[in-house]
Amino acid sequence: MDMVASTARRVAALLSMSLVVAPQALAAPCANFDDTRNVAYMPYIQLVLGDLRAIDRSKGDAAFNAAVNALAAKYSRGNTAEDVRKVIGIGLFNAMAVKGEPADSTFRLACRSARNKLPPVNVLDPLACAVIAIDHSRKDLPANKQIANEMLELARQNLGVDPDPASARAAVMAVSGGVMGCLGEP
């Protein structure tokens, strides 16, 4: 868990930079990939949504970004799997907000979390990694396509231990189709 916690702290630091830097032009996502992103990313964003909604938006974007950075720093100091997932949630929130791909640090943390099988073991961690692996320009890298395939397999393996079997099956079906469709595109 120390390596994951250390990575979570680095992600928080990098997220603070990504909020201020204007998003660069990124490759177009796969056709109809927004629904797949929503299914994979929203469970993480929902972990932090209450905290994000509590931030006073009337003070402007700079104050909002500073408050989001403070949340990421707070979560990255935590030692629980939920704290790690909340750091991932902030990274995914930022990506959705700018309509871009998640930061590399969020990608690494999400995939490491899936591989380390943070408790409770579930299908959402590998599904998020699979989607991030092929989000926007990442889909053009053969190594990322391999990661996406590996994570889909891990999600299928985790079906038997996911705490919510019905939702797990639905998520695997929804995300697998979108990821496989994207992997089949040129």
What does the pLDDT look like over 1-48, one tens digit per residue? 554 445 445 444 444 434 433 333 344 557 779 999 999 999 999 999
Domains contained in the chain, number: 1
Is residue 14 one of the residues assigned to a domain? yes
27 in a structural domain: no
* Tens-level pLDDT at each residue, the chain (186 residues): 554 445 445 444 444 434 433 333 344 557 779 999 999 999 999 999 999 999 999 999 999 999 999 999 999 998 899 999 999 999 999 999 999 999 999 999 999 999 999 999 999 999 999 999 999 999 999 999 999 999 999 999 999 999 999 999 999 999 999 999 999 876
8 A C-beta contact, residue 151 and residue 127: yes
Position 171 in a domain: yes
Residue 106, domain member (yes or no): yes
Any domain includes 63: yes
Residue span of the structural domain in which 71 resides: 2-22+32-183
Determine the distance from the C-alpha atom of residue 141 to the mean position of all C-alpha atoms in its chain, rounded to a whole number. 18
Query: What's the predicted TM-score (pTM) here?
Result: 0.84
